[in-house]
Amino acid sequence: MKPLEGLVVLDFSQFLSGPSAALRLADLGARVIKVERPDGGDLCRRLYISDLELDGDSTLFHSINRNKLSFSANLKEPNDLAAVRRLIAKADVLIQNFRPGVMEKIGLDYERVKAINPRIVYGVVTGYGKEGPWKNKPGQDLLVQSLSGLTWLSGDDDQGPVPFGLAVADMMAGAHLVQGILACLVRRGVAGMGGLVEVSLLESILDTQFEVLTTHLNDGGRLPQRSRVRNAHAYLGAPYGIYATKDGYIAIAMNPVGRLGELLACPELAAFDDPNTWFTRRDDIKTALQEHLRTNTTAHWLSVLEPADIWCSDVLDWDRLLRHEAFRALEMVQSVSRTNGATMKTTRCPIRIDGEMYTSPVGSPKIGEHNDSLTEEFGLRP
């Protein structure tokens, strides 16, 4: 039995942050009902991150809406809205990520939903919170990254701002929403009361930067200074970075520079035995290291460094990763299918409980695919 079996979650959200939170709850056993418009459904059905689609929907939609049911409803139509309210009365969790004010206009804001179901846990994702001058800005991941300072941490010093290569603000907000929802569910089990859980993309990505932002808040307000050479962390000294070798790349984390120079037979590093220079002369060290590492293969350097317990690794692309024995041992890939047989491969839930991996073969739903069965089960007809 999965830990959230028996819970009913209504997922009104679109795109990434809210649906990713609902997906994780589904992975952990909750029954997730995706409430979407009859005319087109979740806009993410047509949000393509490549030219690949499956059965009429984007692979992005399939990947974050697997293992869910779909109930289509026009929330501006009285009969549909009444059916949704009856569904809310029997739900445990509601998730929405509309702009501030949208659910209030529909009549499904927290206070009115709470009047229908006092035990419900109501989760909200916004872009920038409900107050302040940015509250009505589009809550889009790249925009949030750009406003949050995150783009000044990646890339080399001469590159200008470099965005993270994933929708990291969306995914972190979804993860934080799950944490808040589970906390409220625990409280409900103890005290019998539901609650309102609110996260924003901006607050989540600021929290993701807590380590370096805390440094900035306490070092006189100095801005992060990225390395000009193989920057991997704006606040860490040499040798931290990824370096080209004769036939690929090698990642080297925090390590004593003098010891590294001895093992690599790189005499240029001997001058940097003072740990302070690993910061003050970071680029000089990394330049010398880069030139030296190009003289031999990745496998050669790993054969020297790994037995000496130096923190380092090969740098894999997805092709090499997926063929690697270590990846296959994780069994991270599962196949999911729609009822019409359309099948795709995707990742599984990364959480194990009591040693069990959580998988499900259920793919994403078609728009309104489960209207009839849910109407019958929950008594949604007037």
Calculate the alpha carbon distances from 230 to 47, 161, 209, 225, 241 in Å. Answer: 33, 15, 20, 13, 6
The residue behind tokens 């004010």 is 101
Inter-residue contact 203 to 129 (CB < 8 Å):
yes
Please confirm, yes or no, whether 170 is among the known catalytic residues: yes
Nearest-5° angle of CA 108, CA 113, CA 115? 135
The residue behind tokens 């990394």 is 286
DSSP string, 317-381: -HHHHHHSHHHHHHT-EEEEE-TTS-EEEEE----EETTEE----B-PPPTTTTHHHHHHHHT--
- CA-based Rg of the chain, rounded to a whole angstrom? 25
Q: Among 170, 207, 309, 314, which one carries the catalytic annotation?
A: 170
Residue 186 CA to chain centroid, in angstroms? 23
Tokens linked to 330: 């994780």
- Would you please indicate which residues are annotated as catalytic (active-site) residues? 170
